[in-house]
Amino acid sequence: MCSGGETLPYLDKTLPEAGKAPTADATVASKEALRQGPVCTESELINLRVSQLNGCLSDLIYIAGVTQQKLELLPV
């Protein structure tokens, strides 16, 4: 996690191979979640939680239509 003015490198830019496994995992998890029946926003909430655990957030959740209220209910 970052603190203060500290910045982290973009892993996908500095080590492209390192970013492929988590992306593949997220793709498999999303496909399985959709097969089980959750709507797109639930799948995006899963991706957001994974991003939180990895120390980053994505604005794509807003595009998927998740409300601010739902985002505030997620654990940090």
Full-model pTM: 0.36
Q: How far apart are CA 43 and CA 64, in angstroms?
A: 9
Q: How many helices (H) and strands (E) would you count in the chain?
A: 5, 0
Contact 55, 1 (CB under 8 A): yes
> Which residues constitute the domain of residue 33?
18-73
Segment-wise mean pLDDT, segments of 10 residues, the chain, 76 residues: 56 70 73 72 74 62 69 71
Q: With respect to residue 63, please indicate whether it lies within any of the assigned structural domains.
A: yes
For residue 57 the two structure tokens come to 């957030």
Q: With respect to residue 2, please indicate whether it lies within any of the assigned structural domains.
A: no
- Confidence at residue 8, expressed as pLDDT on a 0 to 100 scale: 61
Question: How many domains does the chain fold into?
Answer: 1
What are the CB-based long-range contacts (under 8 Å, 24+) for 54-59?
54/22, 55/1, 55/2, 55/8
